């Protein structure tokens, strides 16, 4: 039986969802004065860019952005191999006393966010850290939750959520993939 694919968000739905998330983040951060968006490599970075663009369109001041690659903070490096490629981490602003909103595409076990929290702590002490994710698919292995969620998806065992963004994947799309029995 082949894999079954269901589109969760098409390009337009994804755009609407991002717009709503942007508003929600601004709401929660009480404006953008103290806000820094930090995207997690990869795709989280592009989502953070889009959120910032929407915020600007909605009349907010330009929001500083950063990128975080959590590879070096992963808790499974001793067991994976060969080594995952390390991406760029770029936090060009002092984060002390700021509201940092971590942006990622999918929230699943929570381990990536755990790593991101550890990594952010090495850059300084924000007043508050928030988490915004495009998709929350459940299945947490750590006590972590998102403050802003684009879409909650129930994923059956063996299933997977794929997020595509135009910059990397050529199109904006969120799909739910349910593995066939033979896979």
Partner 1 sequence: MSAPLGKDLLGLEHLSAEQITLILDTAEPLREISERAIKKVPTLRGATVVNLFFEASTRTRTSFEFAEKRMSADPVNIATAASSVTKGETLVDTAKNLEAMRIDMVVMRHQSSGAAQFLAERIESNVINAGDGTHEHPTQGLLDMLTLRQRFGTLAGKRICICGDVLHSRVARSNIWGLTKMGAEVAVCGPRSLLPNAIEQFGVQVFTRIEQAIEWADALNILRLQLERMQGGYIPSLREYNRVFGVTRERLERAPRDILIMHPGPMNRGVEIDSDVADGPHSVILDQVTNGVAVRMAVLYLLAGNAPALAEAAKGGDR
Interacting residues toward partner 1 by CB under 8 A: 69, 72-74, 76-90, 104, 106-109, 111-112, 118-119, 121-124, 160-161
Judged by CB, which is closer to partner 1: 128, or 160?
A: 160
Query: In terms of CB distance, is 53 or 74 closer to partner 1?
Result: 74
Backbone φ/ψ region at 59: left (φ over 0), alpha (ψ -120 to 50), beta: left
Query: Minimum distance between the CB of residue 73 and partner 1, rounded to whole angstroms?
Result: 6
- Smallest gap from Cβ 57 to partner 1, in A, equals 30
Burial class (CB in 10 A: 0-12, 13-18, 19+), 67: buried
Smallest distance from partner 1 to CB 151, Å: 15
Q: Nearer to partner 1 by C-beta: 26 or 115?
A: 115
Question: Per residue in 104-143, is it b (16+ CB within 10 Å) or e — as a string?
Answer: bbbbbebbbbbbbbebbeebeebeebbbbbbbbbeeeeee
Minimum distance from CB of 55 to partner 1 (Å)? 25
């Amino acid at each position: 039986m082949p894999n079954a694919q269901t589109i969760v968000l098409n390009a337009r739905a994804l755009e609407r969802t991002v717009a709503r998330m942007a508003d929600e983040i601004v709401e929660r951060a009480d404006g953008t004065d103290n806000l820094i968006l930090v995207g997690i490599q990869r795709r989280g970075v592009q989502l953070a860019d889009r959120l910032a663009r929407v915020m600007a369109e909605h009349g907010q001041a330009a929001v500083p952005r950063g990128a975080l690659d959590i590879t070096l903070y992963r808790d499974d490096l001793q067991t994976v191999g060969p080594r995952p490629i390390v991406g760029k981490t770029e936090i060009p602003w002092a984060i002390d006393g700021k509201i940092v909103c971590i942006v990622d595409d999918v929230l699943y076990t929570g381990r990536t966010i755990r790593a991101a929290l550890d990594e952010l702590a090495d850059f300084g002490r924000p007043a508050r850290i928030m988490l915004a994710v495009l998709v929350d698919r459940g299945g947490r292995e750590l006590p972590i939750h998102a403050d802003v969620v684009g879409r909650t998806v129930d994923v059956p065992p063996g299933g997977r959520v794929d997020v595509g963004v135009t910059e990397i994947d050529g199109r904006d799309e969120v799909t739910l993939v349910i593995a066939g029995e033979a896979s």
